[in-house]
A and B are shown apart, each in its own frame.
Chain A
Amino acid sequence: MADAAITVDGARKAYGGKPALDGLGLTAARGTVHAVLGPNGAGKTTLVRILATLLRPDAGRIEVAGHDVLTEARAVRLRIGLLGQHAALDEELGGRQNLEMFGRLHHLGARHARVRADELLERFSLADTGSKPVRAYSGGMRRRLDLAASLIRDPQVLFLDEPTTGLDPRGRAEVWASVRSLLGGGTTVLLTTQYLEEADQLADRISVVDAGRVIADGTADELKAATGGDRIDVVLRDAGQLGAAVALLPVAKAEISVDPDRRLLSAPVADRMAALFGVVRALEDAGIEAEDVAVRRPTLDEVFLRLTGPAEPAGDTKEAAV
């Protein structure tokens, strides 16, 4: 793709024979937010470290902003910003000192580095605390300073490795707002996360990774559609009638999930409106009282569980063990 800011093709990386990346591939278009969604140990951080030239891949073609991470590491470094999982800051120095130092190391020159530091402190509402040592910063402040440090040279590509892990809801909202404020400037953002909500909120495209490979790729809507489409949820007044209600639905019994505690049954449907009217009428004709009937898209959680699959499918374990 000519307009790709990030191209990863067949990336492999093993630690002591244990694969962390197992032929992972993805493409992020320029100016988009691309989320890499996966559980702990899926290889997300390994991927980011390879993209940011901190780690050498064992195999694969990996390009960032049009430059190869192995042979043109310096060209890549000129064009990227990195927000790692742990604050990559000098804890003893003040916020301004940190930004000035990183600016100098970006070779902005002493005066420009100072001006840029002030700009960024202002932009991330850290101007008042610029001289306090980072050690004394709150988690949210530290994250904002870390992000500011990643933006010193207006990177073409920004990597955010689980940017909100460990933050309280307010800190999370702050980071999300900061990420949104970057968009429109042409910056490409690659974001890793374990939170489906975060991917849903921020990303244009999502790559779902598990065990070092991409198991699904698409927009949030595409992923939801590809893994089961719309569902209808019915909550009954009387849990005793759940069996009768299941028989009424025009869906194979195996596809319907029943939750007696919540008096809930949930089934995939093809045509949203037809299903809604059909079910309401059938329940009324059978004299079954419903508390709630709703048609909805699957949540990303459902998508994710469906893609990664349960660790051991309950029905098959016995046979498999024999």
Chain B
Amino acid sequence: MSTHVLTDCWTMTRRELAHWARRPVQVLVGLVFPVMLLLMFGYLVGGGRGIEGDYVDYLVPGMLALTMAFGLESTMLNVTQDLNKGVVDRFRSLPMANGAVLVGRSAADMLQSALGLLVLVAVAAALGWRAHGSPAAFLGALGLLLLFRFAMLWIGIHLALVAGKPELVQTVQILVWPVGFLSNAFALPDSMPGWLGTVVEWNPMSRTATAVRDLLGGPGGEPGHVWAAVLWPLGLLAVFFPLAVRRFARLSR
């Protein structure tokens, strides 16, 4: 029984990887999209009022965090599609570990996000960006980013299970933009009107970006605030993980 849980999870992860093989262009676009945003904001839009030092050093950690935040929408889309295709009905009628459906989703999305981070870091490095901290700090920064992505993942699964309709995915796809931009990814909260700066400071994504800046030694880092980037995602997970699992179990209501 317990061995089946692991094989079931692996089978479901393999399913997602097989999807990648079926649509390599889409996967590639997904990886290139954050790179495009990085180039756009780094060189076309410009910005960085009041930032000491190189704007790219400020922007790269912000873009890494933004990429993780945008993952919410792809998770939600994938889960919604499965639910509406009826294939989840087949999974649920099989003698498999039920949770494997969600574990497969998580594993594949985390893998894709990790790849996305590596691509973005590689492109940034090619543009001359350098991480200034120790290798341990670099790995720590990646860990914080993936932790944030993991929280986004479960919010995405929960929203998909609650909404259940493709039309609502579209709404979320639009809403992630203002939420992503209402952060310190592109600009210092100090340079914004007071209330807006406060909203931006409270955005969990800002906490992650700040901690990553701190660990990678870029401008905009606040030493001693790494804990906030650990606690926020953990807090979100504490809320949304049980909610999502309960929702999934409640499909039988």
User: Which residues does A use to contact B, with CB under 8 Å?
Assistant: 52-56, 74, 77-78, 80, 82, 84, 86-93, 97, 101-102, 104-107, 133, 149
Contact = CB atoms under 8 A, between A and B. Distances in A.
Contacts of A102: 90, 94
Given A56-B252, A84-B90, 13 more contacts: A52-B93, A54-B252, A74-B95, A77-B93, A87-B86, A90-B15, A90-B85, A92-B23, A93-B15, A105-B11, A105-B95, A107-B95, A133-B22
Contacts of B252: 53-56
Contacts of A84: 86, 89-90
Most buried by B among A55, A97, A107: A107
Contacts of A89: 85-87, 90
Contacts, number: 77
Q: Is the interface of B mostly helix, strand, loop or mixed?
A: helix
B19 interface: yes
B86 A88 contact: yes
19 contacts: A53-B252, A54-B92, A54-B93, A56-B253, A77-B94, A78-B95, A82-B93, A88-B87, A90-B85, A91-B85, A92-B18, A92-B19, A92-B23, A93-B18, A93-B19, A102-B94, A105-B91, A105-B96, A107-B96
A87 B90 CA distance: 9
Most buried by B among A52, A92, A106: A92
A54 B91 CA distance: 10
Contacts of B19: 92-93
Contacts of B109: none
A92 B17 CA distance: 12
Q: Is the interface of A mostly helix, strand, loop or mixed?
A: loop
The 4 closest A-B CB pairs, nearest first, are A88-B90, A86-B86, A77-B95, A105-B96
A134 to B, nearest CB: 10
Contacts of A101: 11, 14-15
Most buried by B among A89, A101, A149: A101
B4 interface: yes
Interface in B201-253: 251-253
Contacts of A149: 90
Contacts of B91: 105
A105 B95 CA distance: 7
Interface in B37-62: none
Nearest to A75: B95
B8 interface: yes
A106 B7 CA distance: 11
Contact of B93 (A80, A91, A107): A80
Nearest to A149: B90
Nearest to A79: B95
Contacts of A133: 22
A77 B92 CA distance: 9
A321 to B, nearest CB: 39
B239 to A, nearest CB: 26
Nearest to B22: A92
A95 to B, nearest CB: 13
Interface string B81-105: 0000111011111111000100000
A86 B4 CA distance: 28
Contacts of A91: 85, 87
A94 to B, nearest CB: 8
Contacts of A78: 95
Nearest to A91: B85
A296 B148 CA distance: 73
Contacts of B15: 90, 93, 101
A78 B96 CA distance: 9
Interface in B1-21: 4, 7-8, 11, 14-15, 18-19
A101 B87 CA distance: 12
A104 B86 contact: no
A102 B94 CA distance: 8
Given A93-B19, A102-B94, A107 B4 contact: yes
Contacts of B95: 74, 77-78, 105-107
B12 to A, nearest CB: 8
Contacts of A93: 15, 18-19, 22
Nearest to A80: B93
Contacts of B92: 53-54
B18 to A, nearest CB: 6
Contact of B90 (A56, A82, A97, A104): A82
Contacts of A77: 93-95
Most buried by A among B4, B23, B92, B100: B92
A92 to B, nearest CB: 5
A53 B91 CA distance: 11
Nearest to A87: B86
A160 to B, nearest CB: 13
Nearest to A88: B90
A56 B22 CA distance: 36
